[in-house]
Amino acid sequence: MPTKQEEREVIDVQQYWTVLKRRWPVTTVVIGSVFGLTALVTFLQKPVYESQAKLLFNKQNGVSSLTGLSSQVGELSGLTNLSNPVDTEAEVIRSNPIVLKTITSLDLKDKSGKPLTIEKFLKLLKLKTIRGTDVMQLSYRSTNPQEAASVINSLMNYYLENNVRTNRAEARSAREFLNRQLPEVEKRVLKAEMALRRFKEKIG
């Protein structure tokens, strides 16, 4: 025999069910709207494209050690044994001048149509050093596949231009150093030749 508590619970459930049936159209609309909105947002969400490229860094011999400078001018090498030269180049690619030049030349915008900031750009950019190699992988995400590809191409071009300018500056510095040192070297050679001649004359 059911207790009063159980009878009260049965009555409450029946009352809830009666109210729910009376408001069934409203309930259906609310539930349908929620699921419909979720489906609409998913459907309207733009796909994100990712463009990738790889940079291979080669060690290059610079000016001769006859200049008195390191023979590794222009060579890709770390300042310390712990540093990775490829990681150093990654920071060059992320540098404000190169990133800003890329943003400006491509007229990149954010979702609100405002010029893309360097901070937002770097969040979309990914640089990864492939372990055990001198290869760096660059990738950029965008809802526009053409924009993603253009960003990677521009970024690499501006980096290479910067690298060429840097190497030229280093070569020019080495050449200027050599030009300054050459007269002094010639004097030393001449002095040594004269000393050798006097020595030979002395010993007859």
Please say whether the beta carbons of 124 and 146 come within 8 A: no
Residue 182 is predicted with a pLDDT of 79
Residue 87 is predicted with a pLDDT of 85
Q: What are phi and psi of 166, to 5 degrees?
A: -65, -45
Nearest to 90 by CA among 163, 2, 27, 141: 163
Residue 75 is predicted with a pLDDT of 46
Kindly indicate the confidence band of residue 83, based on its pLDDT and cuts at 50, 70 and 90: low
Kindly indicate the confidence band of residue 195, based on its pLDDT and cuts at 50, 70 and 90: confident
- The Cα–Cα gap between 86 and 88 comes to 5
The helix (H) or strand (E) run that includes residue 168 is: helix 145-203
Mean pLDDT over 185-199 rounds to 81
- The Cα–Cα gap between 112 and 90 comes to 29
**Beta-bridge partners for 134:** none
- The Cα–Cα gap between 145 and 49 comes to 5
Mean pLDDT (the chain) is 75
| Alpha-carbon distances of 2 from 7, 15, 102, rounded to whole Å | 6, 18, 78
Residue 108 is predicted with a pLDDT of 95
Per the model's pLDDT, the better-predicted residue between 58 and 117 turns out to be 117
Residue 120 CA from chain centroid, whole number: 12
Kindly indicate the confidence band of residue 36, based on its pLDDT and cuts at 50, 70 and 90: low
Note the pLDDT tens digit of each residue in 91-106.
999 999 999 999 999 9
Residue 155 is predicted with a pLDDT of 94
Please determine, for residue 122, whether its predicted confidence score (pLDDT) is greater than 50. Answer: yes
- The Cα–Cα gap between 30 and 25 comes to 9
Please say whether the beta carbons of 137 and 54 come within 8 A: yes
| Alpha-carbon distances of 159 from 55, 80, 88, 92, rounded to whole Å | 10, 23, 13, 8
Residue 103 is predicted with a pLDDT of 96
Percent of the chain exceeding pLDDT 70 equals: 66
- The Cα–Cα gap between 87 and 83 comes to 8
Please determine, for residue 55, whether its predicted confidence score (pLDDT) is greater than 70. Answer: yes
Per the model's pLDDT, the better-predicted residue between 177 and 43 turns out to be 177
Nearest to 61 by CA among 44, 41, 75: 75
Residue 178 is predicted with a pLDDT of 76
Helix (H, G, I), strand (E, B) or coil at 84: coil
Please say whether the beta carbons of 142 and 48 come within 8 A: yes
